[in-house]
Amino acid sequence: MLDFVIYFGPLEFLACFTLPLLLMLGGGWYWYTREQRREWQRVVSSLPYPAWVFRKEKPLAWNQPATHWRSMKDLVKLSKDVQRRQQHIVRQLYDENAESVSVRGVNVAQNVTLLLMEDTSTTKRQQSYYRNFIRNVGHELKTPLTIIQGHASKVSSSPNDIDGNAASLGIIAGEAKHLTQLVDNLLLIARLEAPDFQLDRVRVNFSALVEQIILDISDLAETRQIGLDLNLQPGLSLIQGDPVQLRQMLLNLIDNALKYTPAGGTVAVSLSEIDDALSCRIRDTGEGISEEDLPYIFEKLYRARRTSTRTVEGSGLGLALVQQIVQAHGGTLTANSTLGKGSVFIVELPIEVAA
């Protein structure tokens, strides 16, 4: 029989302890890095805009909006620069649409960098909005100024044309009035949008205010051969509001309905109490608003495309002003319309809460 002798010396004895220790350390390191990856993944997944976490030069975690950015060399370079400088860096990079975006690099741990794309969508929308707004204001100002300039030149070149000059002066006065109204509305909207603006709130009998406005505007409706109906629910509650601004809001809505309603049509105003709000409806039988234009009618200086050839004067600020006044009172403003069948504007204002 053969005998086997196994020599178990100091090295073998040390290996029996070292190997399990190395396995334990390796397993612990794997568990730690996995948990770290999961933790960073939870962090970036909670962000709505692209975000990445880099360990050295390799991406450790990223969220869904950042998926298409993973192969960008610029991100790796930014991560390396942040780790090398040990400071925050904001750099302009380009997305897949070749649009410039701001990416902020933050050193969050040893060899770990967090890259965040700054949310510039709101800023871009605001910049686009104000560019369009300035362009529209320029257009609204240029038209009457051109008319005034033309007729002023005509008056100065033909001083003996008494009848023609009288007509030109009348046109100049009308366009100057239009410009004054446009500037006044712009200033009022700016005041309503100011952070420190406050309404002069008092108790307002809104139904009495509606009745007075209908009485004031009835002659205009009769001149334009448009029926003006009023339906008030009895016993309506009072509201807290600024009577001057509320009157301006109602005048704009009713006058707007009269402008776009042809002769023989009807503008109906109704007021009722629904739950804890007063609901005022202004319905007309005018030309209506298309589905494409309806979402934008409350934007400043927006003009909906018209199917009628009738000339309608206006600054394009009336509905924007109405919306600002309604929102300042804590109310809501909605519009429904069918092209060729008319529109209905609904204002809901909170009623006064009893003390």
Using one digit for the tens of pLDDT, what is the confidence trace for 155-177? 888 878 888 888 888 888 888 88
CATH of domain 48-119: 3.30.450.20
For residue 97, the model assigns a pLDDT of: 64
What CATH code is assigned to 202-304+314-350? 3.30.565.10
Note the pLDDT of residue 185.
74
Res 7: pLDDT: 57
**Residue 309 · residue 263 · CB < 8 Å:** no
- In sequence order, what are the residues at sequence separation of 6 or more whose Cβ sits closer than 8 angstroms to the Cβ of residue 248? 188, 321, 325
Could you tell me the end-to-end alpha-carbon distance of the chain, in angstroms, rounded to an integer?
109
Q: Round to whole Å and give the CA distance between 47 and 65.
A: 9
Residue 355 has a pLDDT of 38
Region(s) of the chain under CATH 1.10.287.130: 130-193
Backbone angles phi, psi at 24, to 5 degrees: -65, -40
| 286: its two tokens | 């005018």
User: Does residue 248 contact residue 318 with C-beta atoms inside 8 Å?
Assistant: no
- Please tell me the pTM assigned to this model: 0.57
What mean pLDDT is predicted for residues 318-345?
A: 89
Higher-confidence residue of 103 and 1: namely 103
Q: What is the pLDDT of residue 229?
A: 93
Reply yes or no on domain 130-193 having CATH 1.10.287.130.
yes
Distance of CA 254 to the CA centre of its chain: 25
Sheet containing 277-284, strands listed edge to edge, beginning at the edge strand earlier in sequence: 227-232, 266-274, 277-284, 342-350, 332-338
Min mean pLDDT across 141-145, 225-229, 337-341, 351-355 is at 351-355
pLDDT of 311 above 60 = no
Range name among 8-17, 258-267, 319-328 with the lowest pLDDT average: 8-17
CATH 3.30.565.10 residue spans of the chain: 202-304+314-350
Identify the CA nearest to 310 among candidates 264, 344, 346, 345: 264
Separation CA 98–CA 92 (nearest Å): 11
Say if residue 309's pLDDT is above 70: no
Mean pLDDT of all residues in 317-325: 85
> Mean pLDDT throughout 36-54?
80
Neighbours of 230 (CB within 10 A): 16
